[in-house]
Structure 1
């Protein structure tokens, strides 16, 4: 496989120089490229935060925002400045939550956010908007990366049994395509109504779907955090099973997050913050603080996209 020959060198180059502390590093992307949407033009404003959290020694989450290489969130941005960037034409956003121990989890989620955008770009022209083609490109790209993670897991002892969730949103000029594998989630707030866009692929959710347990039993079920589908599993070889394909309009607000946030902050609170905080970076920080205050025991990653009218 393409990544295996240089995998160990890449790992050392990416992580070998990390500092030993883990500050609450954040990134802000305030000015992004325009999307054309009748009757006018739209911009995307993005805020993102990813932290180790209250209990974990390392951050196994990663995210992708166009125009910027994925960065390790436990490396301090010494300048303390937030970044402003121009978005590339892919308009693809990703959150990934790694599993399989420190090295394995970090590696799997980093592979997801580095390789999926590359593979999508190979298959999807910037002006391609036909829904079937967009979905096929994303599904094939994610399936390819799943095979890369499986191959790496089997080839390198330190990465054995590694895996990662992934949730992504691909914006095109007229629509957004949302898909997920695992239990990282995506939401949309429109006209004050919060809608969950992805399904959790946990054993507890499968039991709920089968009618074996009730919705009231789900949040505290012993299998709530046991995933049957994730990147790095043979069952994910076909890529995402389900897509949400939706129109995009000014005022829409999208949230993508790892379960370190959504597992401890209720949907009603997510909607309240998304609707009540007009700056996406500030909203991401508020939600992160809520997760930590609610005693989240996992890494916390929160990526928020606001769709705004071109001024």
Structure 2
């Protein structure tokens, strides 16, 4: 029987977790998280990990299963997720995947792009540039060499910036030119449910979520991680801004405003990334969940009939 992966995507704070749980509960199946920020067990508040109550409703996978001290790439996730899906599909015809990390979602549903080998000297030089000139220099360089990918990439993630730049510098071609080439077909069908909303409402939800994170103890969580701030896993919105506060570079009010601003920018890039999927079932965050499930079932039946 045809196996189906329901991939629920959308910008941060739009309500993907609630919808994913409702759909997974309806189909009596499991959820795979494709949110790369939620992989790490030390980062709970700042990554909006589902609550214990939410996690207890249906089985979840790839939530806080790694440590910030572990090296875990998108390639590692692709491999692990495909193995997990193979196991889950033995007992389920449908599995739900949810998250806002576009690259990690595409790795599972489409497969990773094939990049040429790069001389390690390029990464070494770029890491030195990061240490000496800061992340802004990497951002400006990537914007000049590959404006197409610059629009999509997480500007606050030096690992992603350096990865793209080393390809640009080593090949003389834009990083984006290696993307979206034909890949190996997956042994399952993917139905994408894309959550949308008016941008002002998304931004309002983001601002409210950040305020909630602060009330829930994000400041204390970040302070405990401050000593390890150079780790790649911690180069993410919600933590780097507070690290600057701990450094004395800004006051707390400004740091919180920067978290909100950078999260809004991240959401904007997510919207751009997901916009490319013309076949997605687009639903508003205020749509009736039962109606969304009905429309999803219609898509599943259509896949079976095709």
Shared fold, TM over 0.5: no
TM norm structure 2: 0.26
Which protein is richer in strand relative to its size? 1
Which protein is richer in helix relative to its size? 2
Larger RCO of the pair (alpha carbons < 8 Å, separation 6+): 2
| Larger-gyration structure (1/2) | 2
TM norm structure 1: 0.26
